[in-house]
Amino acid sequence: MSFDDTTAAGAEGVRLQKVLANAGVASRRVCEQYIVEGRIRVNGEVVTELGRRIDPETDLVDVDGTAIQLDTTKRYIMLNKPTGVVSSMKDEQGRPDLRRFTKEWEERLYNVGRLDAETSGLLVLTNDGDLAHVLAHPSFGVTKVYIAKVTGRVTPQTIARLTKGVELEDGPIAADKARLLDTSGETSLVELTLHSGRNRIVRRMLAEVGHPVVELVRRQFGPLHLGTLPAGRARELTKVERGALLTVARQAAPTPPGDS
């Protein structure tokens, strides 16, 4: 760090191009070019002057509309949770929990939302509390996509009913999207997209329309896709995935949760 940057860090902040380079966006020279081209925004405003200084701890920066992670202490992990594991970092009943999947990271991680023990698929682990709040709370509208294997032959009328809405004991619920992927023999594959965080909501919806779930997996969480990640494996999000996730979180909640 140069004398100017050291001085600035304690008083006025750090030069924007240095912060961007440290975040892995590109070399400092290329980042300067991005600034001049008007591709960088700080707190929602386009910045074109190379002398701009920011506070990496509080300022929000995006490049071409994609949020940039400036705090290198934050971790964002994708886990393909297997069945038989509860969504908890420490289960008081001694059941298999999530600790076994986080041993390689020193940070204390928490799961964003939950999957019931019988459900497998995409679970996000992080130490970013603000992001976790936005992603987990249904009021912010972050969607999740599930693939359910159910009993019986699902009809187009049943799919329409799921999107129109069904009445459950804790109130009505409608899928954001629903589609029939396959039906053969005595089972069908249904894809449901929801932003609700209600307990066991997919299983309860499908049971209500007469097709109990045999197997359930979450394939997508917001902009994240499970892809080919094997069951029981965890990995850090790529730079592109982190940017997409942070972008969704900032768009959903432009002000911190406590300030809204």
Q: Catalytic site residues?
A: 116
Task: List the structure tokens of 178.
Answer: 């629903």
Query: Alpha-carbon distance 236 to 56, whole Å?
Result: 21
Q: Helix-strand-coil percent breakdown of the chain, rounded to 5?
A: 30, 30, 45
Identify whether the C-beta of residue 19 lies closer than 8 Å to the C-beta of residue 8: no
Place of tokens 């190379």: 50
Query: Alpha-carbon distance 180 to 109, whole Å?
Result: 36
- Measured in whole angstroms, the distance separating CA 13 from the mean position of its chain's CA atoms is 30
Nearest Cα to Cα of residue 240 among 223, 255, 256? 223
Identify whether the C-beta of residue 123 lies closer than 8 Å to the C-beta of residue 237: no
Count the Cβ atoms, other than its own, within 10 Å of residue 40.
24
Identify whether the C-beta of residue 78 lies closer than 8 Å to the C-beta of residue 44: no
Length of the chain: 260
Query: Alpha-carbon distance 196 to 186, whole Å?
Result: 29
Identify whether the C-beta of residue 120 lies closer than 8 Å to the C-beta of residue 81: yes
Query: Alpha-carbon distance 236 to 122, whole Å?
Result: 13
